[in-house]
Amino acid sequence: MNPSGAGRHAAHRWNQAKPVIMTVDDDAMVSAAISRDLRSRYGADYRIVRATSGDQALAALAKLALRNQPVALIASDQRMPGMTGIQMLEQSRSQAPTAKFLLLTAYADTEVAIRAINDIGLDYYLLKPWEPPAERLYPIIDDLLDDWREANPDHSADVRVVGHRWSDRSHEVKNFLARNHVPYQWYDIERSAAGQQLGDLAEASVTDLPLVLIPDGDTLRAPSNLDLADALGLRTTARQPLYDLCIVGGGPAGLAAAVYAASEGLSTVIVEREAPGGQAGQSAAIENYLGFPRGLTGADLTHRAVAQVGRFGAEMVLARSVIGIETRGPVHAVLSDGAGDLEARAVLVATGVSYRQLAATGISELNGRGVYYGATASEASQCQGDDVYVVGAANSAGQAVLNLARFAKRVVLVVRGPDLERGMSRYLIERITAAENVEVRCRSEVVGCRGDGHLESVTLLDNGSGRTEEIATSWLFIFIGASPHTGWLGSEVVRDDKGFVVTGPELLGSHDQQHWPLSRPPYALETSVPGLFAAGDVRLDSMKRVASAVGEGAMAVYLVHQYLATI
C-alpha cells in the first residue's frame, strides 16, 4: 500500500461534483471521527457526506440521485435504532446502484455481516474500532475505491474502436484492449450514427476497419496487436539482454513467479503473447479463491497481480510470441517473433492452455463472427436480450453462463456428459440451477453452425435419441478441453502425447532416464532440459485451478534459486 495515498486515489474528473463517500452512524462522536478520518485521506477527491440514521442517509441518497451525483462508497454502522446498517444498505441500492458497501460492526455481529455478503452484496465488514486508520481503515477503503473506479471509469479519455459487429478482427482488438485493462468505447459502423460519422471523418474504407482512435495519438487502421501495444505505450521489447529468470506466459503461474522472483532480487522478465491473466483473466467470477469471500473477477485478480509485478521491478513484454528456445552454455535463449533473442540463466514455461476447437460443421469460418472460444466479462453486455449458447461443463463455462445470464434473454448450456457434477464446482451448479433464464441440456452436442457473414443458427444433437435440431442464435461461446501452448518447445523437452510438459521425478519414472542428462535428479518442476522449468496448466497432471497455478509459480522460484546456486 502507498502509505500516503498521494495520487493513488485521485477520482476521475467528472463534469459534475466529486463522487460521494457517505458515512452513517447514530453515535455523534463516532460519526464525527470517521468523517474526520475519511476527509483527511480522501477529501481532495471525494465529497464526504455524514448521516446519523438510516432514514437520513436514504433521504440524502435520494437527493444525490436526483442531481446525478455518483456515490462511490457507503460506510455504515450496523447497530442503529429504527433501521440497522444492513437494512439501510439494502434499501440504498436503488438510489446508489454502483456504490461499494462497508459495514462497521462489533465482533458479536460478524455472522450477520457474513450473511450480508450474499444477501445484499456487502463488499466488506470492518470491526470497530478502526484505530489506527492508516493500518485498519485506509487499506480497506483504498481497495474498495480502486474497484469502484475500475467499474465506473471516466470515459472522456477512452480509446474508441469503430468496426463491424461481426468482424473477427474487431473482436480481437476489443479483446486485446479489455484484457490489457485499456478502457475503450465501441462504435458499430452499421448500427451507430456516431460510428458512421467517425468512419466518414477518418475516410475509412472497408479494409481500414477496425479503426482505433487513441486520444492524442494517431488513428490506427486495422492494427495488429503489436501495433496496438506500441501505440498505447505498452512495452513490447525487453530492456536488457540477460536476466536471471525469463517467464514465458503471463497467466496466474507466470505472474506469481514474477512477484516472488523479483521480490527476492532476481532480475525477471515475463514474455506474454497477448495479455496478462491467461484463461483466468477472462473469468467473470472466481469465487473460491482464498481471501476474497465475495469472489473477484479474473480481470481484477490480474490487475492486482500485474501491479505487484511492477512494484517489485519485474518487466513485462507484451504482444510477442515465443517461437523457440536454445541452450547456449550456461544460459537459455528465448527466441521471439521479430524482437530478437532474450537470454536468461533460467526459464519458466507458464504458457497455460487454450480451449480445444469444437468439431462442428461450418464452424471455422464463423470464428470471431458469433463463435468465440472463451469470453471476457465485458462481452456479456453485447448479448443483451438475445439467446446465447455455451458449450462446456467445467468451472469456466459455469462462470460464463452466469455472467451472460445477467444480460441475455436466455442462456443454454450444452453439456456432452450426463450431468455437471463431474467437472463443475457445487456452488456454480447450484447457482446455474437456480437461474430462471438458464437451461442445461445434458447428453447434447453442437454438431453444426450456419450463417452468412456471422453465426445465425446452431445444430444440436441429442445423444440419447439421436435427433438433431437447428436453432436460431447469433452467439456461441465454447469452453471445452485444454490444449497446451508447447509447440514452440524443441524436441529436447519431453511432453506427453497431448503436448503437456513432463517435469520432475516423472522424467525418471514413466520415461527413459536418457531424457535427463545430469547425475543429480531433476527438481520437482524442472523439465528434461536443466534450468528450464514448467508451472501451471501447461504441466502434465497439474490441477487446472487458479490457486494451484499460483502455488506452482511461487514454488518454481524456490527451485530456480536452487538451480542457480549450482551453475
Report yes or no: 436 and 411 within 8 Å, Cβ to Cβ.
no
Instruction: Mention the CATH class of domain 364-478.
Output: alpha beta
List the beta bridge partners of residue 387.
410
pLDDT of the residue at 210: 94
Report yes or no: 440 and 393 within 8 Å, Cβ to Cβ.
no
Report yes or no: 76 and 57 within 8 Å, Cβ to Cβ.
yes
Q: Which three cell numbers stand for residue 25?
A: 452512524
Q: Which three cell numbers stand for residue 463?
A: 445423444
pLDDT of the residue at 357: 92
Q: Return the CATH architecture of domain 20-151.
A: 3-Layer(aba) Sandwich (3.40)
Q: Which three cell numbers stand for residue 498?
A: 497431448
Give the C-alpha separation, 446 to 458, whole Å.
7
Half-sphere exposure of 100 (CA within 13 A, CB side): 23
List the beta bridge partners of residue 161.
186, 212
Q: Which three cell numbers stand for residue 521?
A: 535428479
pLDDT of the residue at 378: 66
Residue carrying the nine cell digits 518454481: 556
pLDDT of the residue at 558: 98
Percent of the chain as helix, strand, coil, to the nearest 5: 35, 25, 45
pTM over 0.85: no
pLDDT digit string (tens) for the chain, length 567 residues: 333 343 343 333 333 468 999 999 999 899 999 999 999 999 999 999 999 999 999 999 998 887 778 999 999 999 999 999 999 999 999 999 999 999 999 887 889 999 999 899 999 999 988 889 999 999 999 999 999 998 887 666 688 999 998 899 999 999 899 889 888 889 999 888 878 888 877 788 888 899 999 887 788 999 999 999 999 999 999 999 999 999 999 999 999 999 999 999 999 999 999 999 988 888 878 888 889 888 888 889 999 999 999 999 999 999 999 999 999 999 999 999 877 899 999 999 999 998 899 999 999 999 999 999 988 766 788 899 999 999 999 998 999 999 999 999 999 999 999 999 988 999 999 999 999 999 999 999 999 999 999 999 999 999 999 999 999 999 999 999 888 989 999 899 999 999 999 999 998 865 445 678 899 999 999 999 999 999 999 999 998 889 999 999 999 999 999 999 998
Residue carrying the nine cell digits 525477471: 268
List the beta bridge partners of residue 341.
335
pLDDT of the residue at 11: 38
First to last CA, the chain: 37
CATH H-level superfamily of 158-231: Glutaredoxin (3.40.30.10)
CATH code for the domain defined by 242-354+483-564: 3.50.50.60
DSSP for 429-488, written as a single string: HHHHHH-TTEEEE-SEEEEEEE-SSS--EEEEEETTT--EEEEE-S-EEE----EES-TT
Instruction: List the chain domain ranges.
Output: 20-151, 158-231, 242-354+483-564, 364-478
Amino acid residing at 57: A
- Which is nearest to 525 in space by CA: 489, 565, 562? 562
Q: Which three cell numbers stand for residue 172?
A: 480481437
Domains 242-354+483-564 and 364-478 share a fold: yes
pLDDT of the residue at 17: 61
- Which is nearest to 254 in space by CA: 504, 22, 485? 485
* H or E stretch at 179: helix 168-179
The contacts of residue 37 (CB under 8 Å, 6+ apart) are 130, 133, 137
Cis amide linkage into residue 129, ω under 30° from 0 = yes
